[in-house]
Structure 1
Amino acid sequence: MGSAYETLTEALVTRIGIDPERLAPDRTFADLALDSMALVELAVALDEHTEAVLPLEDLNTLTLAEAAALLDAPGGAGR
């Protein structure tokens, strides 16, 4: 996994408070049981480190690896 995955998981641990042992590339945001406020907080944290924007409306169905790939995509997700 690349730096986008590391940025994503770091934000989940430091900003949202997810136990790092719960994180894996194939886990979805729904698996992590993030509420809407946590998803917004995650989006803010990611915005501070990347120009990409994740689609909040579809975020629960994405795996962490898929979300990282969107962040790494040319032009970034949602741009």
Structure 2
Amino acid sequence: MQDLRDAMTDVLTTRLGVDPATLRPNATLMQMGVDSVSLVELKVAVQRILGVRLNLQTLSFEDTLEELTRKIADFIDQKEPHLQ
């Protein structure tokens, strides 16, 4: 899960321009400066980098980095049996 968290940190900071200083454990995406356009960019980046197709209803401005990482990990775990 740490690798996934690191990947999400990279997406937020390098692709969406989130200031690394705002990446506190309890900071929400909104508190990190993510707006509606950035949320769509996040969705596209997750799909491109991780191959995970999230819908926008899955994402919330109130998600923290940990919650976002957990949602993506849960999605990956649900899909794995279908890949075997």
> How far is the alpha carbon of 1:63 from its aligned partner?
1.2
Report the structure number with the largest CA radius of gyration.
2
Q: Alpha-carbon deviation of 1:55?
A: 4.6
2:78 aligned with 1:75: yes
Consecutive unaligned residues of structure 2, counting only runs of 5 or more, are 80-84
Paired residue total: 76
Equivalents in 2 of 1:17, 1:60: separation in Å? 16
Contact between 2:12 and 2:18, CA under 8 Å: does it hold in 1? yes
Q: CA deviation at 1:52?
A: 2.7
Match of 2:41 in 1: 41
Q: Between the two proteins, what is the percent identity of the paired residues? A: 32
Q: Does 1:52 align with 2:52?
A: yes
Q: Kindly state the Cα deviation for residue 56 of structure 1 after the two structures are TM-superposed.
A: 2.5
Q: Secondary structure at the match of 1:21?
A: helix
Deviation string 1:15-35 (CA, Å, 9 cap, x unpaired) is 111111111232111212311
- SS of the residue 2:46 aligns to: helix
* 4+ long deviations beyond 2 Å: 51-58
- CA shift at 1:75, angstroms? 2.3
Contact between 2:19 and 2:32, CA under 8 Å: does it hold in 1? no
